[in-house]
Structure 1
Amino acid sequence: GAGAFEVAAHVHLEEYKKSVEGKARLGVEIFSKAMLVIPKTLIDNSGLDVQDKLLAVVAEQEKTKLPIGVNVATGDPTDPRTEGIWDNYCVKRQMLGVATVLAEQLLLVDEVIRAGAQMSKG
């Protein structure tokens, strides 16, 4: 909970990105950045400085390798396990599945629009 899964996934993907080459590397980077939407939203909805607090949470995750999330009261890094904040596994699994399918569909729509625009030019 508290965005810890998303922060850990971001850190892991940033490390994995170093081993990926070509255009696929950009995909990993974009997916990695997208994982931070939930922690950013938690911080923003708490009325705190998003960049400052997010950098602190990511740095703590990189340093400790423990699940580190956002304390919405202070914005400080926190271990959600000690706070009793848990994520639902089924929800997280579904979120990742839907997010990737949605991204694929948006790219497909973009291709169709481009193809239609080129056909109307020719």
Structure 2
Amino acid sequence: MSLRGLNPNAEVLNKTAALHMNINAAKGLQDVLKLVGGAGDIKLTKDGNTLLKEMQIQNPTAIMIARTAVAQDDISGDGTTSTVIFIGELMKQSERCIDEGMHPRVLVDGFEIAKRSTLQFLEKFKTPVVMGNEPDKEILKMVARTTLRTKLYEALADQLTDIVVNAVLCIRKPEEGIDLFMVEIMHMRHKFDVDTRLVCSIFHNIGLGPSLFS
């Protein structure tokens, strides 16, 4: 039975049209995420995860890409927008190759080869962070600075880098790890973001940890 037999209103596309529709869905999602952080009617935020969760996405390919990006954020806490833009760029390049006559199967095989090479490179390139009794504070600062700069403007991210690292080390216990519930964020009215300060409570041992006044 044909698709139209199941649903007379169904839109039937040939394989080429369907392929380009899926590519356009990826490119369209990429264009939307590029707007994140700018003034617009959609959302004023640099958090791609927030935007993706609030969008009403209909295209199955775009939904799959959005779920991949959200899963990235759930695991690492960042990279949502980068994931979508990266996939969109891959689709743009794929469309060029397809228009020149390359079979999609060849592109898929190429992606698999690139993935394996990337994972091999990351295994060699990655630097382990040894916490121990005396953690490497400089490495922790690099991690914090890199993460903060994806959400904040550079000057504020650099200012908060020391604050974040010191806050984490303040509540860290070598045997038990880090209890983030011991961090309290207090929003101070009539203050600027650059006025943010770290206050480490002297009552840490009875359960009162550091506070971020912002």
What TM-score does the superposition give when structure 2 sets the normalisation length?
0.19
- Structure number with bigger Rg: 2
